[in-house]
Structure 1
Amino acid sequence: MFAAIVSVWALLVGISLLMMGSGLQGSLLGVRASVEDFSALMTGVVMSSYYAGFVLGSVVTPRLISRVGHIRVFGALASIASAIALMHAVFVEPIVWSALRVLTGFCYIGLFIVAESWINDRSTNENRGQLLSIYMMVMTGAMATGPLLLNLGRTTGYDLFILASVLVSVGLVPVALTTYSAPKFEEQERFSLRKLYSISPLGVAGALINGATAGALVWLAAVYGRSIGMDIEDISIFTAASIVGGTILVWPIGRLSDRYDRRLILTGVALVGGVSASIAAIAIAPSPVAQMCAVAVVGGLTMPLYSLAVAHTNDHLQPKQMVAASSGLLLANGIGGMAGPAIAGGAMQFLGPAGYFWFPAAAIFALGGFALFRMTRSAAVPSEEQRDFVQLPRTSGISARLALRNQMDRDIAQMSRR
């Protein structure tokens, strides 16, 4: 484990600082938008814009890397992202913020692609699983830490925007000073969404709904907290809970999906998640602690949907098709992210704060209904033929390649023992 960490320590430190900056910036924008009297709908549009840049960057960044290399792309994008964080404090206008969020999403997907390319290049058969687990822990921990930094300054001033910018800038330093050679560039094969949907309709739907609900829960958490009267400390913990909650139930849900029909597990998760979100919407608890528990539960039941969607799709693919399919599912997830916060913001504007929970409830119920419909249209994949469930970050397809290579290594090892 120690050797695996040493091999990519610079990237792990850099990406943790970048994710803290991203988590702080997203939460800060939600609070500041409320202070500046942005409507909930407009705030949702601002937050959705991040995913527009995310999708665009997933297409453009590989071309940039092929031309100038990983380190130059990482440095350029980190510098731009740092400057953009400061620009939010200078131009406090919804339209300007939307444009800046597009650029932010573009920069961050590029940074993820570079970081995950490096980790993929440094991995071996012996440490691949360890590296993926470490990377996931760093990503989640840093993203959840970001909102807690709201307590270090004034949300109405420049302080926290400067802090977000500093975190992004400093995150560049370990990578710029690393002595490791840059990885070789590998162009990713892609599936069209139409082709992918023809293979696994439920997989595409699951990735889409996960993007919509996860984006809404995380990026509008601060808006919801402020609308029900939480102070900054409570808002920061509430937002962190929406992120951490997503990791709590991943393992048990994954284990169940490996033993039973994934469609049945997905339906059950959707039903329980939808009911939980509905209860949270109907009975808005006066206690901040109760609110934090509610968002952690809803997050815990919605965040694993992406990994479930990937696992279900892989059950219908040949091993050589899986990496290309993961890129298609990531695109569907990004499209969902473009829609989710905007729709949830509209729901909050017309239904009040409860709309924050009503949107994921409706979306997850719809996914559960679609899963039941698909169960009537095709037979289940036998559990012994299912691919192993693997928790995946919703960043770039390269992390999926790393996970799938690890899974195929395990499959080969198991076959050799027989």
Structure 2
Amino acid sequence: MGALLKQVSALLLSHGCLLIGNGLFMTLLSLRSNLEGFSTELTGIIMSGYFIGLFFGARYTGYLVDRVGYIRTFSVFASIISMIPLAHMLWTDPVFWFGLRLVSGFAMAGLLMVTESWLNAGVSNQHRGGLLAIYMIVNYLGAGGAQLFLLLQDPSGYQLFVMASICFSFCLVPVALTRTAEPQPDPPEPLKIMPTLRTTPVGFLGAACAGFLSASFNTMGPLFALQVELSAQQISWFMALGICGGLVLQTPIGKLSDRIERRKVIAVVAGLVVLVCTAIALQVEFYLRPELLLASSFLYGSLAFTIYSLAAAHANDWAKPERRMQTAGALMVGYSIGAIAGPLLSSNGISWFGPQGLFGFMAVAAGLLSLFTLGRVSAQHYQRKRAKPQFVPRPGSYYTSGELYRAVQAESQPVAEEAAFDGAAQAPVEASDDAESEPLAKPPE
């Protein structure tokens, strides 16, 4: 494992710099939009442009990788995205800023696709889970630690824009200087959504809910903190604790889902997210204490940012080996839909109901997921035995993970039936209309 980390260290360093720049810039742009006098709804539209670009970038940049290779694609998109923060200072116009967010999202999709495909192509199945865990840590620490840059300068100035541009530019250096040979890209594959949607609707909806919760918090969270009159230092910690909180419960909840049916775990976690969001909204309404709000942000992140990992694991429980990339594409679409809708709807929630409307809308989204999942579990009368792959944490809080961009799924060895189902009900099939699904067991008389 040590030799492997040395081989991919340059790539991980570039990825960390990329996340620091994007994490800083996303929070900064939300605060700066408010300072420039943009309405809450308009800010939500501007911020959603990033996720629209992310979706189309994930869909089409694979053709560029196939044509010119990994390093050249990375260089092109790193150069483009490093110009974006500086371009925002040239002209303060919402239409112009929305266009820049589209370009930024498209470029970020290409950068993440290169990074994650490269990582997966260079690791064996034996070490893939460990490498993805390290990759996840880099995701959370980079995006969360970026929030602390807000302590250095006032968002009303130009300095933070320059810092974000520097981070974006520096991410090109390690990759450009690496002596590790780049892998040969795989031919792009068309996305097919319906087979996965028919087989695992909870997995698809879980990915959509994860996108909604993640994008809402990351884009509208700074605006929420500003409207409840937190200081610049408190806003920085509010966002940092929420994002870094995603690291805490990933493994414990994942191991729990390895032992019992994942849909039940998804329903419980989504229900807990509803309770935390409700508690934050009540704090704003009746008794606001910054220390308690920071603790609640950490608790929110530790729960909400596990939903994507659980949804991805559940979807892959029932994905046939030849459909892994199709499952990844379906999860990409689900996450992207939720991420695009998140800033649009949550910004309206803030506009209509005040700052507590943000967590009110997120509570509704998590509640719908919990109810839908419980409905699927209670309505399912047929069961079949199937060994479950071990849970692998997915960094789906700040960006979409390797599943969302052509990264190869971790081919974990199936857990032994006795260990996977120890004291738990056998995992039920979610749908029976998949033409290639195994025959269902006959229900008891």
Question: TM bucket by the smaller chain?
Answer: over 0.9
- How many residue pairs get aligned? The number is 411
C-alpha contact (below 8 Å) 2:40/2:348 kept by paired residues = yes
The letter for the 2-side match of 1:70 is Y
**Divergent runs of 4+, >6 A:** none
CA-CA distance at 1:327 after TM superposition: 2.2
Question: What pairs with 1:156-305 in structure 2 (closer than 5 Å)?
Answer: 156-189=156-189, 191-284=191-284, 285-305=287-307
Q: Deviations along 1:55-74, whole A, 9 cap, x unmatched?
A: 00011111011111111110
CA-CA distance at 1:130 after TM superposition: 2.4
CA-CA distance at 1:16 after TM superposition: 0.5
Q: Deviations along 1:103-150, whole A, 9 cap, x unmatched?
A: 111111100111112212221244322221211111111111111111
C-alpha contact (below 8 Å) 2:109/2:405 kept by paired residues = no
**Equivalence for 2:351:** 349
C-alpha contact (below 8 Å) 2:332/2:404 kept by paired residues = no
**Equivalence for 1:120:** 120
The letter for the 2-side match of 1:98 is F
Match for 1:375 among 374, 377, 388? 377
**Equivalence for 1:404:** 410
Measured in 1, the distance between the counterparts of 2:288 and 2:79 equals 42
Measured in 2, the distance between the counterparts of 1:381 and 1:267 equals 19
C-alpha contact (below 8 Å) 2:113/2:406 kept by paired residues = no
Q: 178-187 or 51-60, which moves further after superposition?
A: 178-187
Measured in 1, the distance between the counterparts of 2:247 and 2:253 equals 11
2:392 aligned counterpart, secondary structure = coil
C-alpha distance 93-389 of structure 1, shift in aligned 2 (>3 A): same
The letter for the 2-side match of 1:362 is V
CA-CA distance at 1:34 after TM superposition: 1.5
Measured in 2, the distance between the counterparts of 1:354 and 1:227 equals 10
C-alpha contact (below 8 Å) 2:47/2:98 kept by paired residues = yes
The letter for the 1-side match of 2:12 is L
**TM-score when normalising by structure 2:** 0.88
C-alpha distance 379-299 of structure 1, shift in aligned 2 (>3 A): farther
C-alpha contact (below 8 Å) 1:322/1:404 kept by paired residues = no
Measured in 2, the distance between the counterparts of 1:387 and 1:357 equals 33
C-alpha distance 83-41 of structure 1, shift in aligned 2 (>3 A): same
C-alpha distance 173-380 of structure 1, shift in aligned 2 (>3 A): farther
Measured in 2, the distance between the counterparts of 1:256 and 1:400 equals 28
Which structure has greater helix proportion? Answer: 1
Measured in 2, the distance between the counterparts of 1:399 and 1:9 equals 21
C-alpha distance 315-117 of structure 1, shift in aligned 2 (>3 A): closer
1:90 aligned counterpart, secondary structure = coil
Structure 2 unaligned residues grouped into runs of 5+: 420-445
Question: What pairs with 1:25-44 in structure 2 (closer than 5 Å)?
Answer: 25-44=25-44
CA-CA distance at 1:198 after TM superposition: 0.9
Measured in 2, the distance between the counterparts of 1:109 and 1:309 equals 21
Measured in 2, the distance between the counterparts of 1:83 and 1:368 equals 41
**Equivalence for 1:332:** 334
C-alpha distance 403-314 of structure 1, shift in aligned 2 (>3 A): closer
C-alpha distance 136-338 of structure 1, shift in aligned 2 (>3 A): same
Structure 1 unaligned residues grouped into runs of 5+: none
C-alpha contact (below 8 Å) 1:109/1:396 kept by paired residues = no
1:166 aligned counterpart, secondary structure = helix
Measured in 1, the distance between the counterparts of 2:125 and 2:273 equals 37
Instruction: Indicate the percent of aligned positions where both proteins have the same amino acid.
Output: 33
C-alpha distance 108-380 of structure 1, shift in aligned 2 (>3 A): farther
C-alpha contact (below 8 Å) 1:213/1:359 kept by paired residues = no
**Equivalence for 2:90:** 90
CA-CA distance at 1:409 after TM superposition: 8.3
The letter for the 2-side match of 1:218 is N
Measured in 2, the distance between the counterparts of 1:187 and 1:332 equals 23
Measured in 2, the distance between the counterparts of 1:249 and 1:299 equals 9
CA-CA distance at 1:5 after TM superposition: 1.6
The CA RMSD over aligned residues, in Å, is 2.0
Question: What pairs with 1:67-86 in structure 2 (closer than 5 Å)?
Answer: 67-86=67-86
CA-CA distance at 1:377 after TM superposition: 2.9
C-alpha distance 131-148 of structure 1, shift in aligned 2 (>3 A): same
Measured in 1, the distance between the counterparts of 2:6 and 2:109 equals 24
Q: Deviations along 1:217-238, whole A, 9 cap, x unmatched?
A: 1221111111111111111111
C-alpha contact (below 8 Å) 2:117/2:408 kept by paired residues = no
